């Protein structure tokens, strides 16, 4: 079996996450995907914002950058452009990526700079104690929505596709093996790849919404997910409350670094002449 | 930088962009804003020619973040903006100070507060440049007053950023940025270029935030085998977050001491005619231009007026002003704000400062300063 210690800063453990949190599942899946991708450890940079998920890089033995709230993708943009041999993986959460960092997220997708963004979507702000996020379903409770959430939720994957990301996949912490595959595909994709992972927060999402413990949440992911291959043949009415998982979008678009290099070569030629 | 003409008519913004390239800047991220936009425009043309990177980001928050990311990859980086954009950058300027990432932020000051007067000059961001981001943090702020000075101080700004591992703010104003002046290009060799000190340790023994004798930890760029952690949270020598009071105290004190202990190397001002003076005009940025003219006119009228011209605003030259206050009685401070630096001067000289202020978008004329000189009751 693959030894995770190779990629962990074991002296920084134990981690800060609650019992039953999905962050550790995504972390391990990411490490299996990195191992499978065969990318040298020194060439990997993991960049995060603020929140529970964003604490991931601290435990990982790569070039790691824990930035400000919502800004991980913007920091990662500078890092990648200045050193293009780096494989940049951004680790972020639903609030970090789609509320405070929403602008950076959509523009990075549009720009199609080569990086992989793994979004842990737990429907809540965990680090600050359970406030509603842009992905909290309407009607669900949070500490800032004691009567239920007034707002409708973002569909992160659809948002990424609409903004131009050429590779978008969704999985859950229950479907961890599938998740390995998607993260690995995302890493290998030349371009902006987004992997959304539904991740349980038993402490701040399940508890106020009476959704049981983490086992119940895993059961819920299992019973309410629909593989994309199946979903394609399922009538709209039947998949209304289901979560479609799988590779939702995979296409080719010119990648920013490549386009910039071509442009730079031309500009240089003219300059020298 | 070959085949450069010896002399050229250029603006402060152009001088800033060209000098940044001489300093070795190869990454620029920015967002359009008057009156700084020409810096971005010029660099969008020049950087691709020099294997550098120009990127127009979605806002100033992202621009500031991107230059920090690029600097961690070992590339000298810069952004340029004006008041409203500078406000948005404060969050990540604090990050650069905390994570000790060298970078240069150009703020071409325009009238404020808020969106204020986009096309007109001001010096209203002097205090924001020092204290704009939250927490006690180190920062260096320089303010040239001519096109040639902008050229020189842009290079010096990079040297400061690299040497001390801090964000350096180059504070221009709309006049300095847009005025066209003849500048005789210095040869590139005339400038000493400083690059951040790189660690000599191997990856296994490297501590990214080590408490060294110099207080400035040696740097290792991302992607060369030093797999360390960078965070904006209070951290220990390994770069990992900590709440340990002793370690946090040590970090915060070192971050600020890093600039304080080198203040004599950083501080820069020029004194003119102060030996025999009764009156000292303390000025910086474009207001210094009017101050020189006013002092010269006043001297022709028999007034003993000298100039204390500040180039490095922060750290502030309290000691030098305090020395001058022993022999000079009156201090006049012309500023395109309501007296932001006048307050610092009075802290240094322990008495009131005669203020000449404008906040209407107009520049301070030599006559306005001259009138104050004439009104001093000697």
Rounded to whole angstroms, the Cα distance separating B150 from A245 reads 56
- Is the Cβ pair A107, B57 closer than 8 Å? yes
What's the number of domains chain B is made of? 2
- Is the Cβ pair B231, A62 closer than 8 Å? no
- Please tell me which of the candidates A63, A68, A71 has its beta carbon nearest to residue B227: A63
Confirm if B132 and B93 have CB atoms less than 8 A apart: yes
Confirm if B77 and B25 have CB atoms less than 8 A apart: yes
Residues B174 and B277 in one domain: no
- Domain C-terminal end among B166, B190, B214: B190
Rounded to whole angstroms, the Cα distance separating A64 from B207 reads 14
With pLDDT > 70 as the criterion, what percentage of chain A qualifies? 100
State the nearest Cα–Cα gap between B162 and chain A, in angstroms: 17
pTM for the full predicted model? 0.97
End-to-end CA distance of chain B: 53
Q: Would you say residue B178 lies in a domain? A: yes
Residues B153 and B53 in one domain: yes
Give the model confidence (pLDDT) of A31-83 as tens digits.
Answer: 999 999 999 999 999 999 999 999 999 999 999 999 999 999 999 999 999 99
- Is the Cβ pair B92, A65 closer than 8 Å? no
- Is the Cβ pair A65, B75 closer than 8 Å? no
Confirm if B166 and B259 have CB atoms less than 8 A apart: yes
Please give the pLDDT value at position B189.
Answer: 86
CATH at residue B112: 3.40.50.970
B271: which strand partners? Answer: B308
Rounded to whole angstroms, the Cα distance separating B13 from B22 reads 14
* Cα nearest neighbour of A262 on chain B: B48
- Please tell me which of the candidates A47, A58, A103 has its beta carbon nearest to residue B58: A103
Which residues on A lie below 8 Å from B67 (Cβ)?
78
Please give the pLDDT value at position B186.
Answer: 85
Q: Would you say residue B1 lies in a domain? A: no
* Cα nearest neighbour of B60 on chain A: A74
Residues 182-211 (A) with a CB less than 8 A from some CB of B? none
Interface test with B, best of A43, A75, A101 (most B CBs within 10 A): A75
Confirm if B274 and B280 have CB atoms less than 8 A apart: yes
Query: CB distance from A64 to chain B under 8 Å?
Result: yes
Please give the pLDDT value at position B214.
Answer: 98
Query: CB distance from A222 to chain B under 8 Å?
Result: no
Q: Would you say residue B163 lies in a domain? A: yes
Mean of the pLDDT values across residues A187-191?
A: 98
In the numeric block, the tokens 């010896």 are attached to: B6
Higher pLDDT, B305 or A271: B305
Q: Would you say residue B85 lies in a domain? A: yes
- Indicate the SS3 state at residue B94: helix
Q: Would you say residue B109 lies in a domain? A: yes
Please give the pLDDT value at position A241.
Answer: 87
Mean of the pLDDT values across residues B350-356?
A: 97
Please give the pLDDT value at position A231.
Answer: 95
Give the model confidence (pLDDT) of B76-110 as tens digits.
Answer: 999 999 999 999 999 999 999 999 999 999 999 99
- Is the Cβ pair A65, B27 closer than 8 Å? no
- Please tell me which of the candidates A78, A104, A264 has its beta carbon nearest to residue B68: A78
- Please tell me which of the candidates B66, B74, B229 has its beta carbon nearest to residue A75: B66
- Domain C-terminal end among B190, B217, B237: B190
- Domain C-terminal end among B156, B190, B224: B190
The answer, yes or no, to whether residue B1 has pLDDT greater than 70, is no
- Is the Cβ pair B48, A58 closer than 8 Å? no
- Is the Cβ pair B227, A268 closer than 8 Å? no
Q: Would you say residue B247 lies in a domain? A: no
Which backbone phi and psi does A171 adopt, to 5 degrees? -145, -175
- Is the Cβ pair A81, B62 closer than 8 Å? no
Give the model confidence (pLDDT) of B40-76 as tens digits.
Answer: 999 999 999 999 999 999 999 999 999 999 999 999 9
Residues 68-107 (A) with a CB less than 8 A from some CB of B? 68, 71, 74-83, 85-86, 103-104, 107
The answer, yes or no, to whether residue B3 has pLDDT greater than 70, is no
Q: How many CB pairs under 8 A join A and B?
A: 141
Helix axes B12-22, B147-164, angle to 10 degrees: 40
- Please tell me which of the candidates A67, A81, A104 has its beta carbon nearest to residue B95: A67
Rounded to whole angstroms, the Cα distance separating B27 from B43 reads 9
Domain housing B58? 7-190
Rounded to whole angstroms, the Cα distance separating A106 from B74 reads 27
State the nearest Cα–Cα gap between A67 and chain B, in angstroms: 6
State the nearest Cα–Cα gap between A170 and chain B, in angstroms: 26
Q: Please list the alpha-helical segments (H only) found in chain A.
A: 23-37, 72-82, 94-95, 102-111, 156-163, 176-188, 214-224, 228-231, 256-272
- Is the Cβ pair A86, B73 closer than 8 Å? yes
Query: CB distance from A138 to chain B under 8 Å?
Result: no
Which residues on A lie below 8 Å from B219 (Cβ)?
none
With pLDDT > 90 as the criterion, what percentage of chain A qualifies? 96
The answer, yes or no, to whether residue B4 has pLDDT greater than 70, is no
Which residues on B lie below 8 Å from A46 (Cβ)?
none
The answer, yes or no, to whether residue B5 has pLDDT greater than 80, is no
Q: Would you say residue B90 lies in a domain? A: yes
Which residues on A lie below 8 Å from B223 (Cβ)?
42-43, 45, 63, 83, 85-86
CATH of domain A19-272: 3.40.50.970
- Is the Cβ pair A65, B228 closer than 8 Å? no
Torsion of CA A126, A131, A135, A140, to 10 degrees: 110
Rounded to whole angstroms, the Cα distance separating A151 from A141 reads 11
Give the model confidence (pLDDT) of B143-152 as tens digits.
Answer: 999 999 999 9
Query: CB distance from A42 to chain B under 8 Å?
Result: yes
Strand order in the sheet with A192-198: A225-227, A243-250, A167-172, A192-198, A115-121, A87-93, A44-48, A63-66, B229-231
Q: Report chain A's C-alpha Rg in angstroms.
A: 19
Which residues on A lie below 8 Å from B55 (Cβ)?
77-78, 81
Rounded to whole angstroms, the Cα distance separating A167 from B57 reads 22
CATH at residue B289: 3.40.50.920
């Amino acid at each position: 079996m693959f030894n995770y210690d190779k990629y962990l800063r074991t002296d920084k453990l134990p981690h800060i996450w609650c019992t039953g949190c999905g962050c550790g599942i995504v972390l391990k899946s990411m490490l299996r995907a990195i191992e499978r991708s065969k990318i040298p450890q020194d060439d990997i940079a993991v960049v995060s914002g603020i929140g529970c998920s964003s604490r991931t890089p601290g435990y990982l033995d790569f070039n790691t950058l824990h930035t400000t709230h919502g800004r991980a993708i913007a920091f990662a943009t500078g890092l990648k452009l200045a050193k293009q041999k780096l494989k940049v993986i951004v680790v972020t959460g639903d609030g970090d990526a789609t509320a405070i960092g929403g602008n950076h997220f959509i523009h990075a997708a549009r720009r199609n700079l080569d990086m992989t963004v793994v979004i842990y979507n737990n429907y809540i702000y965990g680090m600050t104690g359970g406030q509603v996020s842009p992905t909290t379903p309407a009607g669900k409770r949070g500490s800032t929505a004691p009567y239920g959430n007034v707002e409708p939720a973002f569909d992160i994957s659809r948002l990424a596709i609409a903004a131009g990301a050429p590779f978008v996949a969704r999985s859950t912490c229950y479907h961890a093996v599938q998740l390995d595959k998607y993260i690995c595909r995302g890493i290998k994709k030349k371009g902006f790849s987004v992997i959304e992972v539904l991740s349980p927060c038993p402490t701040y999402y399940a508890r106020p919404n009476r959704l049981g413990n983490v086992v119940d949440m895993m059961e819920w992911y299992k019973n309410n997910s629909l593989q994309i291959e199946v979903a394609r043949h399922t009538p709209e009415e039947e998949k209304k409350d289901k979560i479609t998982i799988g590779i939702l979008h995979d296409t080719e678009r010119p990648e920013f670094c490549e386009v910039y290099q071509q442009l730079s070569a031309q500009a240089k030629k003219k300059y020298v002449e | 930088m070959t085949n450069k003409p010896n002399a050229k008519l250029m603006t402060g913004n152009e001088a800033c962009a060209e000098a940044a390239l001489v300093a070795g800047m190869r990454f620029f991220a920015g967002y359009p804003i008057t009156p700084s936009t020409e810096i971005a425009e010029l660099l969008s043309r020049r950087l691709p020619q020099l294997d550098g990177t120009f990127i127009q980001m979605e806002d100033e928050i992202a621009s500031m973040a991107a230059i920090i990311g690029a600097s961690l990859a070992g590339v000298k980086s810069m952004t340029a903006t004006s008041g409203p954009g500078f406000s948005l950058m404060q969050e990540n300027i604090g990050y650069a100070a905390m994570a000790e990432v060298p970078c240069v932020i150009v703020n071409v000051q325009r009238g404020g507060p808020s969106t204020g007067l986009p096309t007109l000059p001001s010096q209203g961001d002097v205090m924001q440049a020092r204290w704009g981001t939250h927490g006690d943090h180190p920062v260096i702020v320089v303010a040239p007053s001519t096109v040639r000075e902008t050229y020189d101080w842009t290079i010096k700004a990079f040297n400061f950023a690299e040497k001390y591992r801090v964000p350096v703010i180059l504070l221009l104003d709309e006049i300095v940025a847009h005025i066209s002046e003849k500048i005789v290009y210095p040869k590139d060799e005339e400038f000493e270029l400083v690059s951040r000190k790189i660690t000599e340790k191997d990856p296994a023994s490297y501590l990214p935030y080590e408490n060294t004798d110099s207080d400035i930890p040696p740097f290792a760029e991302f992607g060369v085998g030093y797999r360390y952690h960078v965070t904006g949270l209070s951290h220990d020598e390994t770069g990992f977050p900590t709440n340990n009071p002793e370690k946090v105290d040590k970090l915060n004190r070192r971050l600020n001491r890093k600039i304080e202990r080198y203040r004599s190397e950083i501080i820069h001002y020029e004194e003119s005619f102060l030996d025999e003076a009764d009156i000292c005009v303390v000025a910086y940025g474009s207001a210094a231009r009017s101050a020189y003219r006013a002092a010269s006119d006043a001297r022709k009228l028999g007034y003993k007026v000298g100039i204390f011209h500040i180039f490095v605003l922060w750290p502030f030259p309290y000691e030098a002003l305090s020395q001058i206050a022993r022999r000079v009685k009156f201090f006049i401070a012309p500023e395109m704000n309501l007296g932001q630096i006048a307050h610092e001067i009075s802290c240094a000289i322990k008495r009131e400062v005669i203020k000449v202020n404008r906040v209407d978008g107009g520049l301070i004329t030599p006559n306005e300063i001259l009138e104050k000189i004439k009104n001093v009751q000697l």
